[in-house]
Structure 1
Amino acid sequence: MPWIQIKLGTTDKKAEKIAGMLSGFGAASVTYMDTIDNPVYEPLPGETKLWTNTTVIGLFDADTDTKRIIDFFYEHFGDKITYKVEQLEDKDWVREWMDNFHPIKCGERLWICPSWCDIPDPSAVNVMLDPGLAFGTGTHPTTFLCLSWLDSLNLKDQTIIDFGCGSGILAVSALKLGAGKAIGIDIDPQAIEASNENALRNGVKDRLELYLPAEQPEGLKADFLVANILAGPLRELAPSIASMVNPGGLFAISGIIENQCQELMEIYSQWFDLDEPVFKEEWCRITGKKK
């Protein structure tokens, strides 16, 4: 099905109002983009964090009368708004994404394989993954860094906490690498659903417990913990995350860009003896042992 997108250049003060108007005209989706390419890395849960110069993009059916929509916005905002109308190529976007998600080797033993692909090495530890609507495919540097860390450990019969489990990729990988039990925690119900489905797909559902934060048991602890989220939550939740690791236990955190690494290391050094950080592209992984 062909589509048309209308891009409206505005400010952060007007962006959400304009998004609502585009939705009122029947937009199939509305997204925000930075006009001058200054990325926002860390919106808080429930927060829409916008740029000073924001482009609001409405996606419409190709039969839409775009002139009527543009005239409406000029009537309301005059020359304080810019616009561009683009015809999008008719593609199967799901298929396009699937064609570009290939098996990935993470460490010495572990492969992350899309559920629709053939396994490249049947003798390896293969995790069959379909992320669904949750974050985590192994392609992002932070996920790769965490998977490589898991691959380096002896997890046999151990319990691991995956804090911010997303698609379940880290918890499921830990179980496939020999962990006896994994506990996944996430604020997003869709992540819980995706993790459950990927655990079922990999035959480890009976060893994975999944919780929304409000439902997780009190005093939850393990000898291993991994948290691939963002620096903001890692900063704010540091005492809670540290409390979940037993003395002598190991942890890894990522989702941290390079210039945030030192601050996070200073925070977590209160509870952990830290290793040298590991970097991939502009991202960082911090690991250590609980004091």
Structure 2
Amino acid sequence: MNDSKIMKRGENMKWAELTLTTEREAMEAVSNLFHESGAGGVVIKDPKIVPQLDEDELWQDPQKLEKHAEHSLIDRVYVMAYLPWDEELSNKLSTIRERISDMENYGLNVSANDLNVSKVDEDDWSEAWKEYYQPVNVNGITVRPTWTSPDNNEQTTIWLDPGMAFGTGTHPTTIMCISFLKQYLQGNEKVIDLGCGSGILSIAAAKLGVEKVFAYDIDSVACRVAGQNANLNEVRDLIDIKRGDVKKQVVEEKADVVVGNLISDIIISLVPNIKYMMKENAIFIGSGIAVNKKEAVIDEFNSHGMEIVAEETSGEWIALVVRN
């Protein structure tokens, strides 16, 4: 996908807004599907990520109370994507619906019947990003969209172009990964980033002083976007981005830290590969683990002689630090 398809600010184009309601564990698979289909941007909207409100404030404002109650009952996310409204759209939508149906074979609870398509103007699309992408601070690291201005007291800033690939820093799984990177990286390490997406974790590691990051993704669009964001943050020389499936190819690099914001089943399937990539006493930082899959993930690491050394929970998600 070329840059003109990613974002054409100067033209009032028409876009197809795709919205798929699905369970959290399927969101990355759906996001990757949308990217592979040529999406000009993907938004993951999680209704459970809402501000924590004071109890007195809730009871004094019936509208806030009602909205808070609605959020607490919702256990699904909305994955939204934007495709150009052109002659290729019909074929792309047919392929997307077929691929969504195929996902059920991998145990993901997702249905093509839940895919909604609407037509939006370029101006509406451009403004929509500003609603969903706001700066977020994680232990002194601020992830910031490119249209905003940094605060003077920011220690480390990661700049991201928000309309391109999965991983914006706003989701709990990404936040927990960044937090653990900040905690465990001392400087001069070699890091492997599995499923790099937008490149956010690779960029965070680079800005925390590592020697080198080897970033992998199966999606060519994600690899391109990760490179663009690395250039934007002036750390491209520290990040080696490769397209490929690490389960099917030998990764020659040995890392001090391996990080992956991946769904539970993918982490479980990659445990032997992850162990092969790690130096002795190295750590793996893994997020995207659903609460109900925690024990299965831990058992798989333990069966390969690896030890869980830290754990963090945010809502329905868990992040683990595993030592080789």
1:247 equivalent in alignment to 2:280: yes
Change over 3 Å in CA distance of 1:203–1:54 after alignment to 2:
same
Q: How does 1:43-62 map to 2 (within 5 A)?
A: 43=29, 47-48=99-100, 49=103, 51=110, 54-60=113-119
Residue 55 and residue 99 in structure 1: after superposition, are their counterparts in 2 closer, same or farther (change >3 A)? closer
Distance 1:143 1:56 in 2: 25
Correspondence 1:264 to 2:248: no
The residue correspondences of 1:32-181 to structure 2 (distance < 5 A) are 33=20, 39=23, 41-42=25-26, 43=29, 47-48=99-100, 49=103, 51=110, 54-60=113-119, 92-107=124-139, 109-181=140-212
Q: What letter matches 1:57 in structure 2?
A: N
- Compute the displacement of 1:93 (Å): 2.1
SS at match of 1:152: helix
- Out of 301, 305, 309, the position equivalent to 1:275 is 309
Relative to structure 1, the CA distance from residue 161 to residue 59 in structure 2 (aligned partners, 3 Å threshold; closer, same or farther) is same
Residue number in structure 1 paired with 2:96: none
| 1-structure distance, mates of 2:261, 2:292 | 17
Are 1:285 and 2:319 counterparts?
yes
Output the CA distance in 2 between the equivalents of 1:53 and 1:214: 26
- TM-score for both structures, normalised by structure 1: 0.72
Q: 1:265 to 1:208 in 2, by over 3 A?
A: same
SS of equivalent residue, structure 1 residue 156 = coil
Q: In structure 1, what is the equivalent of residue 254 of structure 2?
A: 221
Q: Is the 8 A contact 1:168 1:198 kept in 2?
A: yes
Alpha carbons 1:104, 1:112 under 8 Å: kept: yes
Paired residue secondary structure (2:258):
strand
SS of the residue corresponding to residue 237 of structure 1 reads helix
Percent pairwise identity: 27
Deviation at 1:167, TM superposition (A): 0.3
Tell me the SS of whatever aligns to 1:198: helix
SS at match of 2:179: helix
| Deviation by residue 1:20-55 (Cα, 9 ceiling, x = unmatched) | xxxxxxx96484645xxx626235987423656934
Distance 1:118 1:180, change over 3 A: same
What are the superposed Cα offsets for residues 176-210 of structure 1, whole Å, 9 maximum, x if unpaired?
01111111000001110111011111111111101
Residue aligned with 1:112, SS: strand
Q: Give the deviation of 1:278 after TM superposition.
A: 0.8
Taking the aligned partners of 2:126 and 2:132, their CA distance within structure 1 comes to 10
Measured in 1, the distance between the counterparts of 2:115 and 2:168 equals 27
**In structure 1, what residue type is equivalent to 2:317?**
W
In structure 2, the gaps of 5 or more residues are: 1-13, 34-98, 105-109
RMSD, aligned α-carbons: 2.7
Aligned to 1:3: none
Distance 1:253 1:244 in 2: 14
Instruction: Output one character per residue of 1:69-116: Cα deviation in whole Å (capped at 9) or x when no partner.
Output: xxxxxxxxxxxxxxxxxxx89962222222442221112x31111111
State the alpha-carbon separation in 2 of the partners of residues 280 and 214 from structure 1.
Answer: 28
Question: Contact 2:133/2:162 (CA < 8 Å) preserved in 1?
Answer: no
The whole-number CA distance in structure 2 between the counterparts of 1:127 and 1:150 is 14
Q: Which has the larger share of helix?
A: 2
